[in-house]
A = this chain, B = another copy of it.
């Protein structure tokens, strides 16, 4: 399992705007206490509001890693980043990256990291080896976010529920399964990069035995209704053994993103199939709520949509950005309406 030493120096390169720097913005949004400073290659680069620091200054202030917080088109390491990243290694920082191009495949970075005794964390790569899933029921409680499609709010919903649990004083851990989530959490497993035979076992490894009242809030991946990624979703569902499932959905989406011949499933079908599959490894698995993306709706339309979906499903419905996740914490703790 990946584990990235914190706190972070966020590398912004010469990113012109927050969209290119969305990884850094995501880490800062969800883990401000982990973000010591920002490292920009020019004064023209976007300022996300952290103190500017060099790698040496960040190391002196206690930083453990420099994290590549930008996602340039193509996902590659830019040539002008190499000298500053080498300086970070020499200053005593690890480097973490969610880019497609691997740090450890770079001809200069890999030997420099070895010489400096620092680690390169390619969080898009599946670590391992993992065991075949045992199917053994683990202690503690687990919530998993699933969806009617990919890129439909599963990470955001999990992070929002995790934060809401912590704000109520409930012991909870966010468990990351994708590259941005892993950088936010400082660790996790890129479940889609694991070997198929061991994917459910990797999911078991990610959320080990825990205290009886502790919640693992697990970031979902893919969708059972995605023709390419459903197996990733199933491995995560079986290995996570969730007690509670959150279904994420975008009411405006008509088909699986990038697959025009694959209509989006109904919420009812998505609930049924996820529960049916989840009950193999946890017979008491149930859906506890729906998370909608209502960002393109008017306030009136949002209220109507949330009320309609709540009536249709009989479940609490949130938009984690617009309404927060309090209603789900109520449902989990039995303290709500």
The residues of A with any CB-CB pair to B shorter than 8 Å are 126, 132-136, 191-197, 199-201, 225, 227-232, 234-235, 238, 259, 261-262, 273, 276-277, 280-281
Q: Give A126's nearest chain B residue, CB to CB.
A: B195
Closest CB pairs A-B (n = 3):
A135-B227, A231-B235, A133-B228
B133 lies within 8 A of A196 (CB): no
A228 and B135 contact, Cβ closer than 8 Å, known pairs A234-B234, A276-B273:
yes
A280 lies within 8 A of B227 (CB): yes
Q: Point out the residue from B126, B136, B200, B261 that lies within 8 Å of A230, measured CB to CB.
A: B200
A283 to chain B, nearest CB (A): 11
Most chain B CB neighbours (cut-off 10 Å) among A133, A201, A228, A231: A231
**Copy total for this chain:** 2
CA distance A273 to B231 in the complex (A): 14
CA distance A234 to B136 in the complex (A): 21
CA distance A336 to B149 in the complex (A): 42
B238 lies within 8 A of A230 (CB): yes
A134 lies within 8 A of B276 (CB): no
CA distance A136 to B258 in the complex (A): 12
Q: Point out the residue from B134, B136, B235 that lies within 8 Å of A196, measured CB to CB.
A: B235
A110 to chain B, nearest CB (A): 21
Q: Point out the residue from B192, B225, B232 that lies within 8 Å of A280, measured CB to CB.
A: B225
Residues in B neighbouring A192, C-beta threshold 8 A: 195-197
B230 lies within 8 A of A280 (CB): yes
Residues in B neighbouring A200, C-beta threshold 8 A: 227-231
A229 lies within 8 A of B197 (CB): yes
CA distance A228 to B225 in the complex (A): 20
CA distance A288 to B251 in the complex (A): 37
A132 lies within 8 A of B228 (CB): yes
CA distance A103 to B161 in the complex (A): 49
CA distance A126 to B143 in the complex (A): 32
A-B contact pairs, 21 of them (CB 8 A): A132-B229, A134-B227, A134-B228, A135-B259, A135-B261, A192-B196, A193-B196, A194-B195, A195-B196, A196-B196, A196-B235, A197-B232, A227-B238, A227-B280, A227-B281, A230-B234, A230-B235, A231-B232, A231-B234, A231-B235, A273-B276
New A-B pairs, 17, CB < 8 Å, besides A230-B235, A230-B280, A234-B234: A126-B195, A134-B228, A135-B227, A135-B228, A135-B259, A135-B261, A191-B196, A193-B197, A194-B196, A195-B195, A199-B231, A200-B228, A200-B230, A201-B228, A227-B280, A231-B232, A231-B234
A255 to chain B, nearest CB (A): 11
A195 lies within 8 A of B193 (CB): yes
A337 to chain B, nearest CB (A): 34
Residues in B neighbouring A126, C-beta threshold 8 A: 195-196
Residues in B neighbouring A228, C-beta threshold 8 A: 132-135, 197, 200-201
